[in-house]
Structure 1
Amino acid sequence: MASNTVTPPAKASPLAFMTKISPSAYVYTPPSSSGDDNNVTNNDDPKLIILATWMGARDLHIAKYLLPYLSLYPSSSIILLRSEPRHFFSKSAAPRDVAPAVPFIKSLFLPSPSSPSSGSNRPEVLIHLWSNGGSLLLHHLRLALTPQFLPKYVIIYDSCPGQYRYMSAFRAFSAGLTGVWYWIVAPVLHLFCAWGWFWHVLIGRNKTGPLAHLNRGHNDWEKLGGKEVRRGYIYSEGDELVGWRDVEGHAAEAKRAGFKEVRMEKFGGTGHVAHGRGEENQRRYWGVVRGLWEGSGLT
């Protein structure tokens, strides 16, 4: 990796170098390549990186992915979308929070003499989403952009997408709750998750509900087929929130829908959104990211 990683000031949030444009959206524009700046624009870097994180992700945990991206692709602009529980409870929260990112994206891809021709299959955007929370925010961002203005992209599904599971839903919504707050909120969450299981699993047969809707949206060839260049799935048998069979099932559906360049990267016992932990896994993980962007090593 490059050595010019952005380092936040001491005692500041690891995200302090980014500009917050909504309660859940941040943007970063790399330093100008003019003068003696070391961050000379690299045409091989993504023009834009979109990172859509898992629900309730903390700054420090987000930085463990964000900072390596800054090192790998120092000339890329970045959009960070943070998922929160309210995005699942309110239909208006996610669209409202991602909306300010749309003008930023459009400003990067306004037609210009240097823009790639419409017939080119070269991607300009690298998208990385984690868990079903990131899946939700990305879905609303793509709806806001419309297919006509969605740049060609490579996408990485990390620990997702999953189907509705009672205990998986409970673990996701209760993550971070401790002490007395856990015992106060847990019964309400159990009722909510049981209601979801009754309607979307028992009655709906996993064909109804927000997760089923998101899963279909990610495999909508008519809307995305002309824009998605390739995709990859990073997942694990050790993930207790999103089952590996659900991920492989979604990938199989993608191939049937017409998405041909699909890579499966299955880790062993790594946990949810934690497949890059440990020196060996870290090398493998970021090798997968680079390979997907460059189009090498596809299976």
Structure 2
Amino acid sequence: MAKKGPSIPGFVAVSDQILVQETQNDAERPANHPDAVLIFGWGDCLPKHVAKYADGYRELFPHSKQIVILAPISKAFFTDLQSRSDSMLPILKVLDSMKASSGRTPTILAHAMSNTGGTNYASTLNAFKLKYNEPLPHQLLVLDSTPGSPYMTWANLKRWSRAMTLGTAAWFPWPFFITQSIWAMVLCANIAVGWVTGREAPAVFSIRAIDDETFESKSARRLFLYGKGDDLITWDDIESYRALATKKGYKTDGEMFEGSGHVGHMRMFPDKYWNAIQESWDQAINTKP
């Protein structure tokens, strides 16, 4: 029996990671709404959970085409850049189709959640650059609970192994700490292989790409959504990356949340969350400083 693919009501799965909203009427799309919303889910997110974000975007922009990208941790962190980029090619195919049907480059809002979503977003940037030798044209990048430090430290090893355990603990019959210990060893082994082979770690490439004009245009605005209650990606890491991006000339906005955990800001503070996205989008398309 064939393995059942991912499913979200109203979406069509075009790969084992990517789902595209069913046909929209482009003629009904207001000029101040994005043509396409790309939603890069967090590590090992279930379709039904990331669908909540699709619902939120449907409230903001009911006529925008949505593309949801799921994020198996195994694919994001244990494959090479070319493989990760190839996995994102269906996104480019949808955007090309939209451009062909409208006769213009579609306006895009991209939303990346956690470092795994950021990794898939950066892989999309790389896929686009390889195909067209230019940055992916978009107006706004929303960074939710990302980026965090990509470098191996004891504190980060504990955070990363915990994050991977949260996504896989249900698969194993033993206690949580045993699964976390196994993942910690796997992470260390993977990093060691990278050192030996000279392969750049996925998270390192992701952070490098989003601050590199050859991948990420400075014409695009970015919004950082983060909180002090996040025990996987620290708020001070995110603020440091925002400061660095601003120094490099990127236009940035930020929204701090009190009391919500990792990728949990929308669930606890929906009004504040979606208002921040709406305001940044308005700024982006009006090109206000």
TM-score by length of 1: 0.79
The separation in 1 between residues aligned to 2:193 and 2:238, in whole angstroms, is 22
Matched ranges for 1:102-141 at <5 A: 102-110=92-100, 115=104, 124-141=107-124
Partner residue in 2 for 1:7:
none
| Aligned residue among 13, 23, 26 for 2:19 | 26
The separation in 2 between residues aligned to 1:149 and 1:77, in whole angstroms, is 21
| Aligned residue among 166, 172, 189 for 1:175 | 166
Contact 1:233 1:263 in 2 (8 A): yes
Contact 1:166 1:197 in 2 (8 A): no
Label 1:244 to 1:293 Cα distance change in 2 as closer, same or farther (>3 A): same
TM-score by length of 2: 0.82
The separation in 2 between residues aligned to 1:238 and 1:210, in whole angstroms, is 25
| Aligned residue among 55, 61, 77 for 1:73 | 61
Residue 292 in 1 paired to residue 280 in 2? yes
Question: Which of structures 1 and 2 has the larger relative contact order (alpha carbons within 8 angstroms, sep 6+)?
Answer: 2
Contact 1:94 1:140 in 2 (8 A): yes
Partner residue in 1 for 2:243:
252
Label 1:93 to 1:83 Cα distance change in 2 as closer, same or farther (>3 A): farther
Matched position secondary structure for 1:79: strand
Matched ranges for 1:185-204 at <5 A: 185-195=179-189
Label 1:198 to 1:148 Cα distance change in 2 as closer, same or farther (>3 A): closer
Partner residue in 1 for 2:78:
89
The separation in 2 between residues aligned to 1:33 and 1:195, in whole angstroms, is 48
The unaligned stretches of length 5 or more in structure 1 are 1-12, 35-39, 117-122
Task: Give the superposition deviation at 1:294.
Answer: 0.6
Residue 241 in 1 paired to residue 229 in 2? no
Residue 277 in 1 paired to residue 267 in 2? yes
The separation in 2 between residues aligned to 1:64 and 1:14, in whole angstroms, is 13
Question: Match for 1:250: what amino acid?
Answer: Y
Alpha-carbon RMSD: 2.8
Task: Give the superposition deviation at 1:142.
Answer: 1.2
- Listed one character per residue, the Cα deviations across residues 234-272 of structure 1 (whole Å, up to 9, x for unaligned) are 00011011011111111111112121x211111112100
Percent identity between matched residues is 23
Matched position secondary structure for 1:224: coil
Task: Give the superposition deviation at 1:110.
Answer: 3.5
The separation in 2 between residues aligned to 1:98 and 1:199, in whole angstroms, is 24
Partner residue in 2 for 1:157:
143
Question: Match for 1:26: what amino acid?
Answer: L
Task: Give the superposition deviation at 1:63.
Answer: 1.7
The unaligned stretches of length 5 or more in structure 2 are 1-5, 151-155
| Aligned residue among 204, 210, 228 for 1:212 | 204
Question: Match for 2:262: what amino acid?
Answer: H
- 175-184 or 152-161: which moved more? 175-184
Pairs aligned (count): 265
The separation in 2 between residues aligned to 1:239 and 1:52, in whole angstroms, is 19
Residue 52 in 1 paired to residue 40 in 2? yes
The separation in 1 between residues aligned to 2:141 and 2:90, in whole angstroms, is 21
Contact 2:14 2:20 in 1 (8 A): yes
